Amino acid sequence: MAKKKQGVDMKDAVWVLAVGSQLGLSIALPVILGLAVGYWIDTRLGTLPWITLLLTLAGAIGGPIIAYRWVISTVRKRFEEGEES
């Protein structure tokens, strides 16, 4: 009887690291963009800090939603590829 290979396949490890880094960016970038764009608009309109707060909050809500949808589709594709092999 053949033993199962113990340990982590390098291809799988790289995939997990790539997904993790993209996940972090997909959460952080909307928040940073909301902050930057909100601050820029607020300085032009003289409404500091209201639009900055609003857009930062929108990024903080939208970022995890984007990340969740992306992770679900990525993992689904990964499992479909595994089933075909």
pLDDT of residue 3: 56
Rg of the chain over Cα atoms, rounded to whole angstroms, equals 20
Q: Residue 1: pLDDT above 80? A: no
pLDDT at 85 over 60: yes
Q: Which of 64, 61, 54 is nearest to 25 (CA)?
A: 64
Please tell me the predicted confidence (pLDDT) of residue 30: 98
Note the pTM of the prediction, 2 decimals. 0.83
Summarize the confidence of residues 58-78 as an average pLDDT.
Answer: 95
Confidence at 82, pLDDT banded by 50, 70, 90: confident
Q: For 40-47, what is the mean pLDDT? A: 97
d(CA 41, CA 45): 6
